[in-house]
Amino acid sequence: MESLEDLKLMAEQWSNQGIEYLQKIPPFQLYAAIALLLLTTILLLSFRLVRRTKSNTVLLSGLSGSGKTVLFYQLRDGSSHQGAVTSMEPNEGTFVFHSEHAKEKIKHVHLVDVPGHSRLRPKLEEFLPQAAVIVFVVDALEFLPNCRAASEYLYDILTNANVVKKKIPVLLCCNKTDKLTAHTKEFIKKQMEKEIEKLRVSRSAVSTADIANDFTIGIEGEVFSFSHCCNRVTVAEASGLIGETVQVQDFIREYI
């Protein structure tokens, strides 16, 4: 009991000393300290809230002429706008897909159509930190002449630091598959895996000082497969001109 009484007395002394100390502090300093504490708390809570907010940004990437802009218009308006010319600036907008207008409480998607011209590709870097999903569009009709270039572009995306660290899912979208002479998604997947394997071998032989990529992909000693990537890579078919975009929408809605 005596020890309990001693603790009570000690607590009262500390309390009185604390009150006396606070009374000696000029009011403006005390108010400033309280305001600073409140501001710090608000900033920390805001930062945690922002970090928890899930991104809704989807990037449409791929070579110039692959049909990205037509897909953008189909997803937004349900129209190809009679075909589209090659974009020299990113097209972007925040909306629900045209086919979802009748639904309620659908999350808006921030869709960005990134120009595919080689000189404009650095613009992709501006959007990658915010990306939740990447749709890489390939022209299934004119695939073979562009296979290597498309594979190099996709390789650069798959080895990008933002993509690897955040494990951003990638959809390999084989566009224009409604055409009779278009290649199948299985063929395109297989050929691009072969090209990326060649890139892995050739670039691994180069000094790391000469390699612009942040990470390597694949499993050492095994032939490359998209299944070896740390992020999910899915292959789908679409046709922007006639509005066949269901597989693209379904993939995006898995994450947004």
The residue range of the domain holding 164 is 54-253
- How far apart (Å, rounded) are the C-alpha atoms in residues 55 and 176? 29
The whole-number pLDDT of residue 209 equals: 43
Q: Are residues 58 and 132 in the same domain?
A: yes
Q: How far apart are CA 54 and CA 47, in angstroms?
A: 13
Q: For residue 72, give the nearest of 147, 138, 135, 118 by alpha carbon.
A: 135
170-175: strand order across its sheet: 91-95, 109-113, 57-62, 131-139, 170-175, 233-237
CB-CB contact of 70 with 135 (8 Å): no
Are 179 and 102 found together in one domain?
Answer: yes
Per-residue pLDDT band at 52 (split at 50, 70, 90): very low
Q: Are 45 and 71 within one domain?
A: no
215 and 93 together in one domain: yes
Contact 84, 73 (CB under 8 A): yes
Query: Is 168 a residue whose pLDDT tops 90?
Result: yes
In angstroms, rounded to a whole number, what is the distance separating the alpha carbons of residues 53 and 132?
Answer: 11
Model pLDDT, residue 44: 62
Domain check: are 240 and 130 in the same one? yes
23 & 119 share domain = no
Q: Are residues 129 and 11 in the same domain?
A: no
98 touches 171 (CB < 8 A): no
Return the pLDDT at 50: 45
For all residues of the chain together, what is the average pLDDT?
85
Global pTM reads 0.76
Query: Quick check: helix, strand or coil at residue 216?
Result: coil
Residues 6+ apart with CB under 8 A from 94: 56, 108, 109, 110, 111
What does the pLDDT read at residue 221? 87
Residue 213 pLDDT > 90, yes or no?
A: no
The total domain count for the chain is 2
Judge residue 173's burial from the number of C-beta atoms within 10 Å of its C-beta, 0-12 exposed, 13-18 middle, 19 or more buried.
buried
Looking at residue 148, its pLDDT comes to 97
66 and 165 belong to one structural domain = yes
Mean pLDDT of the region 163-169: 96
Q: Are residues 240 and 148 both part of a single domain?
A: yes
Residue identified by tokens 């002429």 is 65
| Statement: residue 46 has pLDDT above 60 | no
Per-residue buried b or exposed e for 53-67, using 16+ beta carbons within 10 Å of the residue's own CB: eeebbbbbbbbbebb
Q: Write the CATH number for 186.
A: 3.40.50.300
Are residues 100 and 42 part of one domain?
A: no
Query: Which pLDDT tens digit goes with each residue over 84-143?
Result: 566 678 899 999 999 997 787 889 999 999 998 878 788 899 999 999 999 999 999 999
